[in-house]
Amino acid sequence: MKNILITGGSGFIGSNFIEYILKITNDVKIINFDNLTYAGNPENLKNIENDARYKFIKGDICDEELVSKIFSENNIDSVINFAAETHVDRSIHDPNIFIKTNVLGTGVLLSNAKRTWGDNFSDKRFLQVSTDEVYGTLPEDDKSIKFTENTPLQPHSPYSASKTGADCVVQSYFDTYKFPTLITRCSNNYGPYQFPEKLIPLIINNALNDKDLPIYGDGKQIRDWLFVEDHCDAIWTVLNKGKIGEVYNVGGDNEIMNIDIVKHILDHLKKPHSLITYVKDRLGHDRRYAIDAAKIKNELEWTPKYKFEDKIKDTIDWYLSNSEWINNVISGEYQNWIDKNYK
Ligand code: NAD
Ligand code: TYD
């Protein structure tokens, strides 16, 4: 059995990852370490919470004492760090928690992994789940330019700046100690269990409730969308086959304008385009993200399995059949449940 410490496993991508890994392996034990912020939800893992290969620990990755205890008490082979504050709009209003969790928290995990593993870490791995937003923004008029792993880091939001800081600390552990780090930088994900403050679940939920759909600026910003299971598979591939010290971009060659996604969702739900409401643009809003994923495809033979047209339909249908999940998340019922059960 391999023991993998997953941080942030109760969030959107982390919970999809845990479910996926327990489905495709039988020799992996998962320790999910998450402090259940507003974005972390134990309900996301209800399908596997009683699996003997799964253990949950509630806590903060910035908590030195607890992180040290977790490393001493569990024979951890790999760390996959999903834990982060992740919403750009929140980072614009309250940057410091982003800097604390995303930079300091990553540092605490790294120093404890290093202390625990000592010099004997050749078969260990520390994988940092990062984002294409560290590269900044791309021109809209030249589609031949995409983010490669060599694109300079030029983040604009406090969120992306804090993720960049974390990446630099991770990379420094490889450069200084030859510590076995890996970094993945993925484009925008969509799929089940995404907190309904992000574009796709927010639009689905508002449309279902005939509420205005807030489109920032002209709505012509471009994102490169990837189905969450494809991202999970890429992380697993990098963990097992990636070369230590390397960065791997992950994306689906799937650039779409925000406004087109919104219209697509409205059409699928048979809701009127008149719900679209243009609002003030996000501060420092990046115009275009697009990933060149040639390295992971060529070197590690990863390729996305799913088509956007199919998986966006499944995703909309998932939110339609899980309206209780959305309502509970929005009403804060889970937060009350968490306060009662974990505090
Ligand atoms: P999310 O906001 O849905 O989940 C984050 C999880 O981290 C939550 O469960 C939360 O409780 C936990 N967490 C937050 N602060 C913590 C702390 N101090 N200690 C322990 N746990 C803490 O985020 P997500 O969309 O699942 O993203 C996961 C990772 O993937 C993040 O690192 C993010 O930067 C990266 N990423 C996300 C996307 C995307 O499109 N969502 C794309 C590329 C990269
Ligand atoms: P988001 O889902 O917040 O992801 P990110 O900012 O990390 O790319 O936003 C995706 C795009 O949608 C981004 O260009 C901002 C835009 N957007 C809106 O136009 N309206 C909204 O209400 C939200 C949440 C996002």
Distance, CA of 268 to CA of 155 (rounded, Å) = 34
**CA–CA gap between residue 174 and residue 166 (Å, rounded):** 13
Is residue 164 within 8 A of residue 145, CB to CB? The reply is no
Ligand 2 site, residue 199, Cβ cutoff 6 A: yes
Note the pLDDT of residue 330.
Answer: 84
Distance 257 CA to ligand 1 centre (A): 24
Ligand 2 midpoint to CA 3 (Å):
35
pLDDT band at 339 (very low <50, low <70, confident <90, very high): confident
> 132, 167, 255, 292: which one is catalytic?
132
CA 159 to ligand 2: nearest atom: 7
* Residue 125 CA: distances (Å) to CA of 92, 180, 214: 33, 5, 41
- Share of residues in the chain with pLDDT > 90 (%): 94
CATH class of 2-190+225-253+285-307: alpha beta
- What ranges do the domains of the chain cover? 2-190+225-253+285-307
Question: Is-contact 116 71, C-beta < 8 A?
Answer: yes
> Quick one: pLDDT at residue 265?
97
For residue 343, name the pLDDT band (cuts at 50, 70, 90): low
Separation of alpha carbons 167 and 246, rounded Å: 11
Contact 216, 281 (CB under 8 A): yes
Determine the atom of ligand 2 nearest the C-alpha atom of 282. Answer: 15
Is residue 61 lining ligand 1, measured as CB closer than 6 Å?
yes
Q: How would residue 342 be classed by pLDDT, with cut points 50, 70 and 90?
A: low
pLDDT for residue 26 is more than 60: yes
The number of CA neighbours under 13 Å toward the Cβ of 307 is 2
Output the 3-class SS for the chain.
CEEEEEECCCCHHHHHHHHHHHHHCCCEEEEEEECCCCCCCHHHHCCCCCCCCEEEEECCCCCHHHHHHHHHHCCCCEEEECCCCCCHHHHHHCCHHHHHHHHHHHHHHHHHHHHHHCCCCCCCEEEEEEEHHHHCCCCCCCCCCCECCCCCCCCCCHHHHHHHHHHHHHHHHHHHHCCCEEEEEECCEECCCCCCCCHHHHHHHHHHCCCCEEEECCCCCEEECEEHHHHHHHHHHHHHHCCCCEEEEECCCCEEEHHHHHHHHHHHHCCCHHHEEEECCCCCCCCECCECCHHHHHHHCCCCCCCHHHHHHHHHHHHHHCHHHHHHHHHCHHHHHHHHHHC
pLDDT of res. 243:
98
Any residues with CB less than 8 A from the CB of 171 and at least 6 apart, and which?
181, 183, 245, 247
Which residues are CB-contacts of 138 (< 8 A; sequence separation ≥ 6)?
145, 146, 147, 287, 288, 289, 290
Asked if residue 341 has pLDDT above 90, the reply is no
Q: Determine the Cα–Cα distance for residues 294 and 281; give it in Å rounded to an integer.
A: 33
Task: Kindly give the distance from the C-alpha atom of residue 194 to the centroid of ligand 2, in angstroms, as a whole number.
Answer: 13
Q: Which atom of ligand 1 is nearest to the CA of 189?
A: 40
* Angle made by CA atoms 86, 147, 93, in degrees to the nearest 5: 25
Residue 154, pLDDT score: 98
pLDDT of residue 270: 97
pLDDT at 180: 98
**Residue 276 Rama label (left phi>0; alpha psi -120 to 50; beta):** beta
Q: How confident is the model at residue 336 (pLDDT cuts 50, 70, 90)?
A: confident
Encode pLDDT of 213-270 as tens digits.
999 999 999 999 999 999 999 999 999 999 999 999 999 999 999 999 999 999 999 9
Which position among 159, 173, 248, 289 bears the catalytic label? 159
Q: Compute how many other C-beta atoms are within 10 angstroms of the C-beta atom of residue 97.
A: 15
Average pLDDT, the chain: 96
**Cα 253 from Cα 296, distance rounded (Å):** 13
